[in-house]
Chain A
Amino acid sequence: MIVAEQKPIDEIKSFISGHKNVLVLGCGACVTVCLAGGEKEVKTLSSVLRLSEKIEIEEDTIERQCDEEFYKDIRTKEKKCDAIISMACGVGVQMAGRIFTETPIYPALNTKFMGTNDGAGEWSENCLACGDCKLGIFGAVCPVTRCSKSLSNGPCGGSSDGKCEVDPEKIECGWQLIFDRLKAIGKLEVLSKIEGPRDWSKTHSGGQRILSRKDVAEL
C-alpha cells in the first residue's frame, strides 16, 4: 500500500499564503488507510488552517483521487476556490492537476513508499516498484528495499548480528532475512548461484513508465 505522511503544517501554509478560498480535498483510498489524508485528516487540516489564517476552506473527500471519474461531482468546486490542497499521494495530486487545470494544486503529503502496515500506526517500506520482481528467488524478502545497498548477491561485510552497519539500531540486514527465510524453506542452495546484474532500466529510468492491457481497453 502507498504510505504517505503529512507535510509540516508551516510548509502547507506557505503554499497557500495569499489565497483566500481553498478547497482541501481528501482521498478515501491509500492515504485514508495510512491515516494521512482521509476525511478525518481533511477536517483536522482545514480546522487548523481556519484557526491560524484568515481563509475560507471548502472540505471534501472523494473515493480515490487517481481516477478521473471520482471527480465528477466536485468539478464545479474549482470555480469557487483559488487554490486546492490535495491530501492524496503524489499520484492523486497529479490527477487533480489534470482535472482542475486552472487552479494551483498543492500537496499536503509527502508520499514516502510502498509498504506494509505493521500494526496500528506503524508502516515500513517493502517495495520500490523495480519492475522486475525476483521475490520468488529470495524467499519473498526484497533485496532492493531491504538491503541498504540493494545488493543482488549479499551480504556485504557490514552485516553483524543481523543488523546493517548503516544503522545497527534500526536497520535489519536484508540479507540475513533472506538467508533465514531460504533456510526455513530449505532453499539455501539458491545463494550459491550468482545472481546476474539487475536490469535497472525496468525500474524508474528515462521517463514515465506505462502499462496497457489492450484486451480491456475502451473501444
Chain B
Amino acid sequence: MSTKQVKVGVIICSCKNKLHQYLDFQSISKELKKIKEVSAVIECSDLCDTKESSDVISKIKKTGADRLVVCGCDKRVYENEFVSVLKKEKINEGLWWPVNISDDCARAVKGKKAATDICIQYISAAVKRLAFAEAVGSTSREIIQDISIIGSGISGMQSAILLSALGYKINMLFAGKEMGGYAAAHPDLYAYLDTDPAEASEKIKKHMYELSHKIKDDKNISMYADTTVQSVDGNFGDFLIQANTGEKEISIKSGAVVLAMGSQCRQASAGSIFTDEPNLMGMDRLYDIMSKGKVPQRIVFLMDQNREQERGTTSAVLSAALKLVKEHGASVKIYCNNVRVAAYGLEALYRRTRDAGVVVIKYNEKPKIKTEENGIFINLYDTITGTILSEEADLVVIADCEPISDDAVKANTIEGLRRGPDKELQYNNIWLLPALSNRVGIFVIGGAKGNSEYREALVDGLACAWEIHEQLKENKIQVYDDVAKIDAEKCALCLTCMRICPHGAIFIDHENESAGVQAVSCRKCGMCAAECPAGAIQLIRYSDNEIEAELAGPAKVVAFACENSAIPAGVSASESGLMRSKDIRLIRIPCAGKVNPNNVLAALEAGADKVMIIGCHPESCKYLSGSSRASRRMERLSQLLEKAGIDPLRVSFNGIASVETKRFEEYVSDT
C-alpha cells in the first residue's frame, strides 16, 4: 500500500517479569531491531499500568513511529484501558496490532529457544502487517431514540413498560383492536400457572389487565391498534415504518424495532388442507368450537408435525385437553414427538392432564391422517409390534405453531431481515440470544421467536428492553469506518456481497453504481470481502495485504484463527498447560468467513505444508454463516487441489468452541 517508509514501534511486556523465564527478551530485541521498519523496541513490565504504558508509548513516538506492535498477553486483558492511553497519546487506534507472546509463544512450546524463535516470528509478522494498516476514523451521528414494538402480546407489553420507565418513547403497533395478544385472547391456555385451571386463568386475566392499563395510562407509549405494517426500512438509529392504521397510512421513525407479533397457529387458511374439512383443524378453529360449547366426543391432538414445537404449544394443548375432558366430557389423545415440560408447573399440569384420562403418545414416526367417507383416522406405525395402529377420531387438531407467515412479515417487508433455515425469525444461534435478529437494531422476542412460555416471554421483553437501552441511551453514536469498504471502480455489481451478508448491511448504491456498505449495520465479519469476485471489498485491519503479510515467516502449519472461538480456546489451552507444535502459527481473523481461499493458497505458496481455518462450529458461528462458508470454501478448494495433483488434506476447516481446550490441542499439536 504505502511506499513511504513506515516506522513501527514495538512494546514488549514481561508481565511483571514473569515471562523472562520463558523468553529471551534480549535476543528478541536484538533480532527485531534488525528489521528496517522498526524504529524502537521497548520493554515494559506491566502493560496494564496505564502510567507505564503511557510512558512507553511517548518514548516510541519520539522515534518517529506512528504505529505499534503490542506484545503482551491476550489483548482482552488490557485492550480497553490501553486504547484510551493510545488516544491520549494521539496514536490512531487502527494503527496497533497485538501479539500474544504469553499464550502463543511463552506457554505454547517447550524450551526457551523455541519459544523465543516463535516469538520473534510472530512479532516480525505483526511489523510487516502494520505497514499496510490504515488509520480508523469515526463520525458522530444523531440517532432517533424512539422505539417501535410490533405486536402487543405479553413480551411486547413488558418490553414497552420497561423501556418507558427507562425514559424512551414507544410506539406499539398491533393488528387487533385490543392489546394482549394470545394470552389476552386465550387466558384458559396457561393452566400450568396454578393447580386450579380457573385460578390460572384469573391470574392471566389479572396480569393482562394490569399490563394493558399501565400502558394505556403511560404518556410515553402511543398505541396503534388495527394496524398492519407494510414495510420497515432503514438502519439502526434511523428506521422508517410504513403502516396502515384502519384506513390511514402512517409513517413512524424509530431507532430500534422490536418484533413481538407472536407465532401463528396452524389455522385454516387459503391453500391449507384444513380449509373445508369439518373434522381437521388448527388450534384457532378448535377454540372457536370450544367457545360455542358443542364439542365432538373423540378428539386427537397432533403436535410436532412440521417442526419441533415449544413449551407454549405444550401448555396450550394440555390446558385445552384438560378443559375438553373436564368441561365437555370428551375423550382426548395427544400424539407428540416430545412433551416439553421444562417450565415451573408444566410437569404438574402434564400429570394432572393424564390423571384426568388424557392419553399421551410419543411417536417415532409421524402419524398419518386419513380422511375417509365414514370418518377421520390416525395411522401410527408402532415400532414395537411392527404394525400400523389405526384409530378413528371425531376431530383431529394439528396443534403446531409456525413462525409468523410471509404474509404478515414478507421477506422484503423488513429490509434485510433474514429468516433461519426453518423459517424462524430468529436464527437458532446462541450468539443471538436473547433478543437479537440478524439485523442490528431489530429485535425478536416472545412467541415471534418461538418462546411463548409465559414467564419466559416476559423475561424476553425485559432482556430486550435492557439490550435496546445499551444501544440507544445516547442520542449520538460514533460510527466507525473500520467496516467493509467497497471500491466502486472495481465493483461489478454482481450482488454476491449483498446476497450473502448475514446482517443485511449491503445495498445497491445507485449513485456510485456499486454495492455500498451501511456502516451502522456492518458487523465486520468480512464474509463479503472474501467472496467478492472482483477483489473490490476490503476490511480494515484484515485486508488481504495485512493478512498475507503475516505469511512471510517459515511456518509449516498456518491456522487462520477466529477471534471468537479459536483464539480464546488457544489462550485457555496454553493457560492449562496444553502445548502446541512449534511449527504452527495462528493468524487472527474476525470470523472464519473472512478467509478468502486465495489467502489459504498464499499460505501454501509461502511454504506452509498445511493450512487450516479454525472457527466456530457452523451452527454457532457468531456471524451466523461465516463458518459454514469457510467449510464450503475449503471443501471446494480441497477438490480443486486434488484435481491439480496436490494433497487435498493440506487445507481444512475445523470447528471449535471457545471452551474446547482439548480440541484446540488436537488441532495444533504434531500429528
B51 on interface, CB distance cutoff 8 Å: no
A9-B643, A9-B644, A38-B533 known; A48 vs B496 contact (CB < 8 Å): no
B534 on interface, CB distance cutoff 8 Å: yes
Q: A121 to B636, alpha carbons, bound, how many Å?
A: 13
Q: Would B535 and A8 count as touching, CB distance under 8 A?
A: no
B598 on interface, CB distance cutoff 8 Å: yes
User: How would you classify the secondary structure of chain A's contact residues: helix, strand, loop or mixed?
Assistant: helix
**Please, which residues of chain A bring their CB within 8 A of the CB of B359?**
none
Q: Which of B269-277, B328-336, B599-607 participates in binding chain A?
A: B599-607
Q: Which residue of B lies closest to A119 (CB)?
A: B499
B489 smallest CB distance to A (angstroms): 10
Q: A8 to B643, alpha carbons, bound, how many Å?
A: 8
Residue A47 contacts which of B535, B602, B645 (CB distance < 8 angstroms)?
B602
Contact with A along B584-599 (1 / 0, CB 8 A): 0000000000001110
| Most B CB within 10 A of own CB, among A13, A28, A35, A48 | A48
Residue B492 contacts which of A38, A44, A49, A121 (CB distance < 8 angstroms)?
A38
Q: Would B646 and A48 count as touching, CB distance under 8 A?
A: yes
Q: Would A48 and B534 count as touching, CB distance under 8 A?
A: no
B170 smallest CB distance to A (angstroms): 37
A39 on interface, CB distance cutoff 8 Å: yes
B532 on interface, CB distance cutoff 8 Å: yes
B376 on interface, CB distance cutoff 8 Å: no
A48 smallest CB distance to B (angstroms): 5
Q: Which residue of B lies closest to A41 (CB)?
A: B533
Contact with B along A18-34 (1 / 0, CB 8 A): 00000000001100111
**Please, which residues of chain B bring their CB within 8 A of the CB of A13?**
644
**Please, which residues of chain B bring their CB within 8 A of the CB of A43?**
535, 598, 601
Q: Would B605 and A10 count as touching, CB distance under 8 A?
A: no
Q: A47 to B643, alpha carbons, bound, how many Å?
A: 14
Q: Would B494 and A52 count as touching, CB distance under 8 A?
A: no
Q: A44 to B646, alpha carbons, bound, how many Å?
A: 14
Q: A9 to B598, alpha carbons, bound, how many Å?
A: 16
**Please, which residues of chain A bring their CB within 8 A of the CB of B532?**
40
How many residues belonging to B are interface residues under a CB distance threshold of 8 Å? 25
B495 on interface, CB distance cutoff 8 Å: yes
Q: Would B644 and A47 count as touching, CB distance under 8 A?
A: no
A184 on interface, CB distance cutoff 8 Å: no
Q: A199 to B652, alpha carbons, bound, how many Å?
A: 54
A33-B494, A44-B601 known; A51 vs B646 contact (CB < 8 Å): yes
Q: A38 to B640, alpha carbons, bound, how many Å?
A: 17
Q: A39 to B491, alpha carbons, bound, how many Å?
A: 11
**Please, which residues of chain B bring their CB within 8 A of the CB of A40?**
532-535, 596, 598
A185 on interface, CB distance cutoff 8 Å: no
Q: A35 to B500, alpha carbons, bound, how many Å?
A: 14
B640 smallest CB distance to A (angstroms): 6
Q: What is the interface residue range for chain A against chain B? A: 20 to 34
Q: Would B598 and A47 count as touching, CB distance under 8 A?
A: yes
Contact with B along A44-74 (1 / 0, CB 8 A): 1001111110000000000000000000000
A117 on interface, CB distance cutoff 8 Å: yes
B243 on interface, CB distance cutoff 8 Å: no
Contact with B along A93-132 (1 / 0, CB 8 A): 0000000000000000000000001011100000000000
Contact with A along B498-538 (1 / 0, CB 8 A): 01100000000000000000000000000000001111000
Q: Would A48 and B494 count as touching, CB distance under 8 A?
A: no
**Please, which residues of chain B bring their CB within 8 A of the CB of A35?**
494, 496, 533
Q: Would B644 and A10 count as touching, CB distance under 8 A?
A: yes
Q: Which residue of B lies closest to A39 (CB)?
A: B535
Q: Which residue of A lies closest to B499 (CB)?
A: A120
Interface residues of B in 626-644 (CB under 8 A from A): 640-641, 643-644
Interface residues of B in 480-498 (CB under 8 A from A): 490, 492-496
B547 smallest CB distance to A (angstroms): 13
Q: A29 to B491, alpha carbons, bound, how many Å?
A: 10
Q: Would B605 and A9 count as touching, CB distance under 8 A?
A: no
**Please, which residues of chain B bring their CB within 8 A of the CB of A41?**
533
Q: Which residue of B lies closest to A1 (CB)?
A: B494
**Please, which residues of chain A bring their CB within 8 A of the CB of B492?**
28-29, 32-33, 38
Q: Would A44 and B533 count as touching, CB distance under 8 A?
A: no
Q: A43 to B596, alpha carbons, bound, how many Å?
A: 11
Contact with A along B365-395 (1 / 0, CB 8 A): 0000000000000000000000000000000
Q: A48 to B532, alpha carbons, bound, how many Å?
A: 19
Q: A25 to B490, alpha carbons, bound, how many Å?
A: 16
B368 smallest CB distance to A (angstroms): 21
B625 smallest CB distance to A (angstroms): 11
B77 smallest CB distance to A (angstroms): 37
Q: Would A120 and B640 count as touching, CB distance under 8 A?
A: no
Q: A119 to B494, alpha carbons, bound, how many Å?
A: 10
**Please, which residues of chain B bring their CB within 8 A of the CB of A34?**
494
Q: A161 to B490, alpha carbons, bound, how many Å?
A: 45
**Please, which residues of chain A bring their CB within 8 A of the CB of B598?**
40, 43-44, 47
Q: Would A120 and B500 count as touching, CB distance under 8 A?
A: yes
**Please, which residues of chain B bring their CB within 8 A of the CB of A50?**
605
A33-B492, A35-B533, A41-B533 known; A48 vs B641 contact (CB < 8 Å): yes
Q: Would B640 and A48 count as touching, CB distance under 8 A?
A: yes
B499 smallest CB distance to A (angstroms): 4
The 27 sampled A-B contact pairs (Cβ below 8 Å) are A8-B643, A9-B644, A10-B643, A10-B645, A13-B644, A32-B494, A32-B533, A33-B533, A35-B494, A38-B534, A39-B535, A40-B532, A40-B533, A40-B534, A40-B598, A43-B535, A43-B598, A44-B597, A44-B601, A44-B640, A48-B641, A51-B644, A51-B646, A117-B494, A119-B499, A120-B496, A120-B499
Starting from the known contacts A9-B643, A40-B532, A43-B601, 17 additional A-B residue pairs (CB-CB under 8 Å) come to: A9-B644, A10-B644, A10-B645, A32-B494, A32-B533, A33-B493, A35-B533, A38-B492, A41-B533, A47-B598, A48-B640, A50-B605, A51-B604, A51-B641, A51-B646, A120-B500, A121-B496
Where the two chains meet, the residues of B that have a C-beta atom closer than 8 Å to any C-beta of A are 490, 492-496, 499-500, 532-535, 596-598, 601-602, 604-605, 640-641, 643-646
**5 tightest Cβ-Cβ pairs between the two chains A and B:** A47-B601, A120-B499, A33-B494, A38-B533, A52-B644
